[in-house]
Amino acid sequence: MSKKIKTTSQQLTRLFLSLFIILLLLVNLTFAAISITFIYNNAHQQAEEVIDTVRDNISDHDDHKNKKEWKLFLNAYLARQSNDAIAVKTPKGKTVYSEDGEELFKKTRGRGNFNHVVFLNNSAYYFQTEQEDKYQISVILNVNDLFTLITHLLLAIIILNLLAIIFSIPLIKRFSKKWSQPLEKIDQDIAAIENQRISKKEVFVPQEPAEIRHLAQSFNDLLEYQEQAIKREQQFVTDASHELKTPIAAILGHINLIKRRVKDLPDIIAKSLKYIDSESGRMEVLVNELLELGRAKKQHQTIESIDLVSVIYKESQIIDQEYHCSIDL
């Protein structure tokens, strides 16, 4: 089964649609990368601010606080609406947590993280620890809201991209067909020339694009050259037939003359044979010249000039003898 050949319009549609999809994919990937980078930088900045604030407000005598006091102290630096947590390890080795912070730190402890990002119970957390003098301050920030927002934006963009692809298909087809119209018109003209449906053998020459315009012009030049070559061949056959017809007619005439008058005028045989021999030699010369001319056209040989006056004089003598007429030169 032969494979169906695609048209130029179909190939252009497929190419432009593929490029459009690749462009949208690159835009989406770029947006996702920028969004993730923004989330990470924002979480890192918030964690640094919380750690710096706790570090600036902590002192050596705070080591004597009880857990309740530490909890109240650490809760002051957390956003109430976020599921964040702070842990501080005192110089005495005691670890204190903010409200519900101990449970969150236990859940995240031992879990693998990707560049300080931990995923727990379908939520994303940013984890960071810094050592400040004798205190070790750890912060966990819930960045799931930002991830959710970015995810919703990505889904919205993907849906918009799908709609853009669906609505762009007819537009791309329309433009592809418009751009391929010159080629289709040239193809139709070539088919019409092959089927001899048009008298003027010429294809449509578009104004643009330049490559197709040059192609059509070159094809028209080739058609014109072929037309001239066919006319030259036809003229060559006509001239050759005309040139060969004269000696053949003379030979046949003398043969018929011998048949009719051989008994009455026996002397006519010698004269007729002389004419037959002369015309046969002339026809041989014509055939050789035609063959030489044909080889010269094929091999692009240089044809030497001849004395046309002597040729005309010789031909006039032959005509004078055959048709008994007077020719003035």
**Total domains present in the chain:** 2
Last residue of a domain, one of 166, 191, 222: 166
CATH code of the domain in which 264 resides: 1.10.287.130
Please check whether residues 126 and 60 belong to one and the same domain: yes
Full domain range(s) for residue 272 = 210-304
**Cβ atoms 135, 91 nearer than 8 A:** yes
Please check whether residues 148 and 231 belong to one and the same domain: no
For residue 296, which of 242, 236, 218, 226 has the smallest C-alpha distance? 236
Inside any domain, residue 187? no
Mean pLDDT by 10 residues, the chain (329 residues): 65 84 88 84 83 75 67 71 76 78 76 73 80 79 79 86 86 79 76 69 74 79 80 78 76 76 68 74 77 64 77 78 72
Give the model's pLDDT for residue 296: 61
Inside any domain, residue 194? no
Please check whether residues 143 and 264 belong to one and the same domain: no
Inside any domain, residue 329? no
Please check whether residues 299 and 245 belong to one and the same domain: yes
CATH code of the domain in which 118 resides: 3.30.450.20
Please check whether residues 71 and 129 belong to one and the same domain: yes
d(CA 229, CA 223): 10
**Cβ atoms 75, 81 nearer than 8 A:** no
User: Positive or negative, the Cα torsion across 85, 88, 89, 94?
Assistant: negative
- How many other C-beta atoms lie within 10 A of the C-beta of residue 161? 17
Query: What six digits make up the tokens of 317?
Result: 């003598």
Please check whether residues 141 and 258 belong to one and the same domain: no
Please check whether residues 145 and 248 belong to one and the same domain: no
Give the model's pLDDT for residue 1: 44
Give the model's pLDDT for residue 177: 77
Give the model's pLDDT for residue 108: 76
Query: Hey, which bits of 111-268 come out as E strands?
Result: 117-120, 123-132, 135-142
